[in-house]
Structure 1
Amino acid sequence: MADTSADAGLETKPPVGEADVAAGLAEVREGIVQAARDNGRDPAGVHLVAISKTVPAEGILPALEAGQRLFGENYVQETAAKWPALRERYPDAELHLVGPLQSNKAREAVALFDVIHSLDRLSLAAALAREIERAGRAPKLLIQVNTGEEPQKGGVVPGQLDTLLAECRDTHGLAIHGLMCIPPAEDPPSAHFALLARAAERHNLPILSMGMSADYGAAIQMGATHVRVGTAIFGARARKA
Structure 2
Amino acid sequence: MGQAISAMRESVKEADKIAEEKAKQELDILQKLVDSKLNEFQFEINERFLNPDATSKTQVPGIRALRWERRSLTKISDNPADSISETVDQFFSAGGEKTSNAVKEGFKGVVKTALNVFLGNVEVGEFSEEKFFVYMVHNTIIRVDVKLWRWNFSGEGFSSKYKSVLGYIMCISAVDPSKLHTAEFIYLISEYAGDDEENVNKYIDTMQKMYTAARKMKQNNRITEYAKDD
TM-score, with length taken from structure 1: 0.21
Instruction: From the CA coordinates, give the structure whose radius of gyration is larger.
Output: 2
The structure whose residues are more often strand, as a share, is: 2
The one of the two structures with greater contact order (alpha-carbon pairs below 8 A, sep at least 6) is 1
The structure whose residues are more often helix, as a share, is: 2
